[in-house]
Structure 1
């Protein structure tokens, strides 16, 4: 599932910020009251939020990725030739 499909189908608000050699993806899962965890397996971001699992693939060219959740917002920091 791509990020665009994920947000369109599930109704989450998502933004992508592009920089010279990096990018940041941010997805709002609905506030701090949601219990969510995030994991990165190979090139796939996996989020478990309130007994629902969401997955999306990192963009081609992403060499390094860091993920974290804070107040219901998933942030994925990407480095590489995006």
Structure 2
């Protein structure tokens, strides 16, 4: 699933910020997502929020990514031109 599909189907808020040296994606899972974790494996971002699991493919051209969750917001920092 792409982030665009997830936000369109689930009603979550997502933002994309493009900078000269990379891109930042932010997805708001809401403050009700108390027990959350995020992992990155083989180009797939895996988010577990409460009892739900979501998997997102990294965008084409993303070579390196850093992910973290804070206050129910998933942040994905991508390096390079996308």
Q: Work out the CA distance in 1 between the residues paired with 2:11 and 2:36.
A: 16
Normalising by structure 2, we get a TM-score of 0.92
- Which residue of the partner structure matches residue 25 of structure 2? 25
- Which residue of the partner structure matches residue 34 of structure 1? 34
Q: In terms of mean alpha carbon deviation, does 26-35 or 2-11 score higher?
A: 26-35
- 1:18-67 CA distances to partner (integer Å, 9 max, x unpaired)? 11230000001102652110000111101000100111111111111000
Q: Would you identify which runs of 4 or more consecutive aligned residues in structure 1 move more than 2 Å?
A: none
When the two chains are superposed, the root-mean-square deviation of aligned CA atoms in Å is 1.2
Aligned length: 82
For structure 1, the 5+ residue unaligned runs are none
Q: In terms of mean alpha carbon deviation, does 10-19 or 29-38 score higher?
A: 29-38
For structure 2, the 5+ residue unaligned runs are none
- Which residue of the partner structure matches residue 70 of structure 2? 70
